[in-house]
Amino acid sequence: MTAATPAVQRPPRPKRSLAVPAGLLGAILITLWAASEQFGIGFDIAAILEDLSKGSLILTEVLQPNFAFFPRTIEPMIETIQMAIIAATIGCAIALPAGFLASRVTAPGRISLAVTRSILNVIRALPDLLYAMVFVTALSIGPLAGILALIFFNIGVGAKLLSETVDAVDRGPIEAADAAGSTHVQMVRTGVFPQVLPNYVAFSLYVFELNIRASTVIGIVGAGGIGNTLNAQMGFFNFNNVGLIILELFILVFVIELISIQLRRRLT
């Protein structure tokens, strides 16, 4: 069968843009530069493999957790979970209004948008470890400093994730609320909040999970929880005990992930 003569001529294929290969090449060159001995940090895979063999001694001990140490990890582990829950609850509660203020869609005005975004950028720019150091210095060693550090960390993460979700909501209900004579707060509450609620719950659980992990790092500077124990055991070179703590953290994060998957499935 012969094909019918097309009525309209097909357009010629547009020339391929060189932007993608050029960008890829650029990324490779920059990475090589950063890794080079002459200009960068001297990233050498052979040397790493050699050093790793020295580290394997530690690794074998970590992989053989000392379960006899378990009773002594219970209390700090519970403290870590408590810190993570308190900080996630307070941090995400603050992140909720902050997230709406930081989205172009729900900000009441340009000035408040710019101010909220600047504040959140500063909060997010500082790492959790730095917050912990500041609060440990200001308040003394202990879980309170850790909780405050985690709260700031949580506000930054939670508000960022929420505001980006709000940016992408369906604008239809917003128009409907406006047309019905709602106030700005009513519009956000009835037209936008139900759209982002499942995401917000998922973020909050993610933030809680981040807190469990972050607690190991902030414990190093004395901000309470399992991190303190972990740091002490590393200091004593008790890597079997370190191995147990890591195993417990792994299980804990895994369980939280399972719970969060279940909750998200029910909400969406």
Partner 1 sequence: MIRFEKASVTYPGGVHALRDITLQIPDGQMMVIVGLSGAGKSTLIRTINGLVQPTSGDVTIDGRSIRHARGRELREIRGRIGMIFQTFNLVKRTTVLNNVLMGRLHATPSWRSVIGRYRADDVEIAMQALERVGIVDKAYVRASNLSGGQQQRVGIARALAQQPKILLADEPVASLDPPTSHVVMRDLQRINRELGITTIVNLHFLDLAKVYGERIIGLRGGELVYDGTAAHADENVFRDIYGRSLTADDVLEPVPAV
Residues binding partner 1 (CB under 8 A):
170, 172-173, 175-183, 185-186, 189-191, 194-195, 197-198
Query: What single-letter DSSP state applies at residue 6?
Result: P
The C-alpha atoms of residue 126 and residue 251 are separated, in whole angstroms, by 29
Return the residue matching tokens 């019905």: 180
The C-alpha atoms of residue 99 and residue 25 are separated, in whole angstroms, by 37
- For 187, other C-beta atoms within 10 Å of its C-beta total 19
Closest to partner 1 by CB, 74 or 197: 197
CB 131 within 8 A of CB 153: yes
Closest to partner 1 by CB, 189 or 213: 189
Closest to partner 1 by CB, 23 or 194: 194
The C-alpha atoms of residue 120 and residue 139 are separated, in whole angstroms, by 24
Shortest separation between residue 92's beta carbon and partner 1, angstroms: 17
Shortest separation between residue 164's beta carbon and partner 1, angstroms: 18
Query: What single-letter DSSP state applies at residue 182?
Result: -
Shortest separation between residue 194's beta carbon and partner 1, angstroms: 4
Closest to partner 1 by CB, 61 or 178: 178
Closest to partner 1 by CB, 120 or 188: 188
Shortest separation between residue 175's beta carbon and partner 1, angstroms: 6
Shortest separation between residue 195's beta carbon and partner 1, angstroms: 6
Closest to partner 1 by CB, 136 or 187: 187
The C-alpha atoms of residue 132 and residue 148 are separated, in whole angstroms, by 8
- CA distance to 96, 103, 104, 106, 268, per residue, from 171 (Å): 19, 13, 12, 10, 19
Strand locations in 146-258 (E): none
Shortest separation between residue 115's beta carbon and partner 1, angstroms: 22
CA 151 distance to own-chain centroid: 13
CB 216 within 8 A of CB 248: no
Shortest separation between residue 172's beta carbon and partner 1, angstroms: 3
- For 129, other C-beta atoms within 10 Å of its C-beta total 16
Closest to partner 1 by CB, 177 or 223: 177
- For 261, other C-beta atoms within 10 Å of its C-beta total 12
